[in-house]
Structure 1
Amino acid sequence: MKRKNFDKIVTAVGFGLSVFLFAAAALLNWGASFASDSVKSQLDNQNISFPAADAMPEATKAQLAKWAEKKVTTGEMARDYSDLYIWEHMKGSAIAAVGKPATYSEVSGMYMGLVRGGSSDTAQIAKLGDLRQTLFMGNTLRGMLLEAYAFGTMGVIAGYGAIAALVGGLVMLLLSIAGLVHIRRTPDSATI
């Protein structure tokens, strides 16, 4: 095979890869922007704000201090609000009611056991019923906020992918241009 023909094929493939990588960079950038804008607008609509630093849970006060009195607008903020604020309140409510940290399913099991068992301890049934509802709402809020965190993280990853695809596209474009220069310098008689 003539060297020039081989170089033309390789250069054409290089230009094709450049176009593909530039298209991938554009789509990844669009995805990153969409995810970021969606997470921000959805969280903005919820109007969730961190309390003042002195009202933060003691166990996570140091981690949450950076967000004091700020509105939740990013995936990272949603994760911290969920895991470091709501979760701590849920644990505190459970400790106050049953003496230990407990999940919704555990408390619901206790509650249903008393109700189905025909217990006459109405105060305990009411306390577990209230805690059950509190933990259910907390889990629901946490799930929604952690979903915003997941989508925000996917947007960040797509942004990094866009940068990598753009750099790869530029490198391939430069190599393809170098291939064109090489084709001009290769003698017609050269073979591989």
Structure 2
Amino acid sequence: MKRKTLDIIVGAGLVVLAGLLLIAGLVLTSNANFANDYVKNQLSEQQITFKPAATLTAEEKASACLVKYAGQPLDSGKKAECYANEFIGLHLKSIAGGKTYAQLGDVQTELKTKIAAAQKAEDPALADLQKQLTDVNGQRETVFKGESLRGMLLTSYGFSEFGAKAAQAALVAYLGAGLLFLVGAAGLLHAARTPRSEGFAVPESASKKFANA
């Protein structure tokens, strides 16, 4: 095979591969933009704003991201992660000793059993048990709302991370496409400058060996 032909085949192949990488990069960029725009729009609709720095409690000030985003609207995946873990998560720990929604359900069941027994026995502790149940009901409802919002915010954060990874992959694809295009173009340029009759150079020692054979 002549050198010119090989240069054309390799150069053209690299240029085609560069084109495919470019298309992949464009698709990844489109996905990254969609993820970022979707997350921003969904979070902006919630109209959540971080507490101003002047109103942060001592515990809240211990969180670097709550201080960093103080007074800002919640409109990005990173902000959603911060608000979910550092703000909502912090305050959920202060409700009912940090018990989860499921754990408070067990407390509810236990209190209802005690109340039923107290009613039958006409126990004077009935009023106190009923008050405890009312408090637990309120705590469980608050925890449910907090955990639900926290879960939604973390889902948005996760979606934004997919967008960030897509953007990184797109950058790699663009760099790869650029490199392959340059190498392929160099090969085609070399082919254009190479005479059709030129083949691969054969070392003199190899020529003598074949001649003697």
Normalised by the length of structure 2, the TM-score is: 0.80
| 1:19 and 2:19 matched | yes
Q: Which has the larger radius of gyration?
A: 2
What does the per-residue CA deviation read over 1:129-174, in whole Å, with 9 as the maximum and x for residues that have no partner? Answer: 1111111111100111111111111111111222111111111110
Counterpart CA distance in 2 for 1:115 and 1:170 is: 70
1:112-131 equivalence runs, <5 A: 112-116=109-113, 118=116, 120=126, 121-131=129-139
Give the aligned length: 187
Which secondary structure state, in structure 2, belongs to the residue aligned with residue 92 of structure 1?
Answer: coil
Aligned residue in 2 for 1:180: 188
Which secondary structure state, in structure 1, belongs to the residue aligned with residue 132 of structure 2?
Answer: helix
What does the per-residue CA deviation read over 1:15-51, in whole Å, with 9 as the maximum and x for residues that have no partner? Answer: 1111111111111111111111111111111100111
Aligned residue in 1 for 2:69: 67
Aligned residue in 2 for 1:41: 41
What does the per-residue CA deviation read over 1:109-135, in whole Å, with 9 as the maximum and x for residues that have no partner? Answer: 221232245364111111111111111
CA contact (8 A) 1:111 1:128 kept: yes
Aligned residue in 1 for 2:107: 110
Residue 179 (structure 2) aligned to one of 151, 171, 178? 171
| 1:82 and 2:79 matched | no
Structure 1 vs Structure 2 CA RMSD: 1.9
Normalised by the length of structure 1, the TM-score is: 0.88
Residue 55 of structure 1, CA deviation: 3.4
Counterpart CA distance in 2 for 1:116 and 1:5 is: 88
CA contact (8 A) 2:12 2:188 kept: no
Counterpart CA distance in 1 for 2:132 and 2:3 is: 87
> Percent identity of the aligned residues?
35
Aligned residue in 2 for 1:153: 161
Residue 2 of structure 1, CA deviation: 3.3
Residues 50/153 of structure 1: CA separation in 2 closer, same or farther (3 Å cut): same
Counterpart CA distance in 2 for 1:37 and 1:43 is: 10
